[in-house]
Structure 1
Amino acid sequence: MAEFWRSTALPHLEARRSCQENTCYRPHTHDSFSIGVIDAGTSVLTGPLDGTIRLEPGDVVVIPAGQVHACNPDAGRWLYQMVHMDQNWAVSLAPCKGASRQFDGIRVLRRPDLHRRVSVLNDAIFTDEAREPIEAQFAALFAELEAASPAHLATSDADPELLARLAPVMRRLRHAESNPALGELAGMVGMTKYQLVRAMRRATGLSPLAWRQNARIVQARRMLRGGRPIAETAHALGFTDQSHFHRVFRAHVAASPGTYRG
Structure 2
Amino acid sequence: MTPTAQFWRDPNLPYVESRRACDSRANYKAHSHPTVSIGAVDRGVSVFSGGAEGPTLIRAGSVVFVPADCAHACNPQADSAWSYQMLHLQARWVEDIRKESRQGLSTPLCQVLLSHNDDLYRRFSQLNQLLFSSASWQDKEAALIEFIGDFPARGQPVIALAADPARASNGVRRVMDLLQQDPQALCPLEQLAELAGISRYQLIRAFRSATGMTPHAYQLNQRIIQARTSLQAGEASAALAQRLGFADQAHFQRVFKAHVGVTPGLYKA
- Could you state the TM-score of these two structures normalised by the residue count of structure 1? 0.90
Instruction: Name the CA shift for 1:132/1:176 in 2 (closer, same or farther; >3 Å).
Output: closer
Identity of aligned residues (%): 37
Closer, same or farther in 2 for the Cα pair 1:241/1:110, shift >3 Å? Answer: same
Counterpart position of 2:117: 111
Deviation of 1:226 (Å):
1.3
CA separation of 1:181/1:69 partners in 2, compared to 1, >3 Å: closer, same or farther?
same
Shift, 1:180, TM fit:
2.0
SS of 1:220's partner is helix
The structure-2 alpha-carbon separation of the partners of 1:64 and 1:100, relative to structure 1 and needing over 3 Å to count, comes to farther
User: Which position in structure 2 is the counterpart of 1:93?
Assistant: 97
User: For 2:143, what is the secondary structure of its paired residue?
Assistant: helix
Name 2:14's counterpart in structure 1. Answer: 11
Which amino acid in 1 is paired with 2:208?
A: R
Unmatched 5+ residue regions in structure 1? none
Distance 1:96 1:164 in 2: 33
CA contact (8 A) 1:109 1:149 kept: no
Matched, 1:127 2:128: no
Q: 1:248–1:159: structure 2 CA closer, same or farther, 3 Å change rule?
A: closer
Partner letter of residue 257 of structure 1?
A: P
Counterpart for residue 81 of structure 2: 77
Q: In structure 1, what is the equivalent of residue 49 of structure 2?
A: 46
TM-score normalised over the length of structure 2? 0.88
- The reply to whether residue 154 of structure 1 matches residue 160 of structure 2 is yes
Please list, as runs of the form range in 1=range in 2, the aligned pairs for 1:1-262 lying within 5 A after superposition.
1-22=4-25, 24-75=27-78, 76-94=80-98, 95-96=101-102, 98-99=104-105, 101=107, 103-129=109-135, 133-147=139-153, 149-154=155-160, 158=164, 160=166, 162-174=168-180, 175=182, 177-262=184-269
**Root mean square deviation of aligned Cα:** 2.3
The structure-2 alpha-carbon separation of the partners of 1:121 and 1:203, relative to structure 1 and needing over 3 Å to count, comes to: same
- Asked if 2 retains the 8 angstrom alpha-carbon contact of 1:13 and 1:125, the reply is no
**Aligned partners of 1:153 and 1:34: how far apart in 2?**
14
Describe the superposition over 1:3-33 as per-residue Cα deviations: whole angstroms up to 9, x where unpaired. Answer: 1110243122211011355351000112211
Q: Aligned to 1:247, what secondary structure does the other structure show?
A: helix
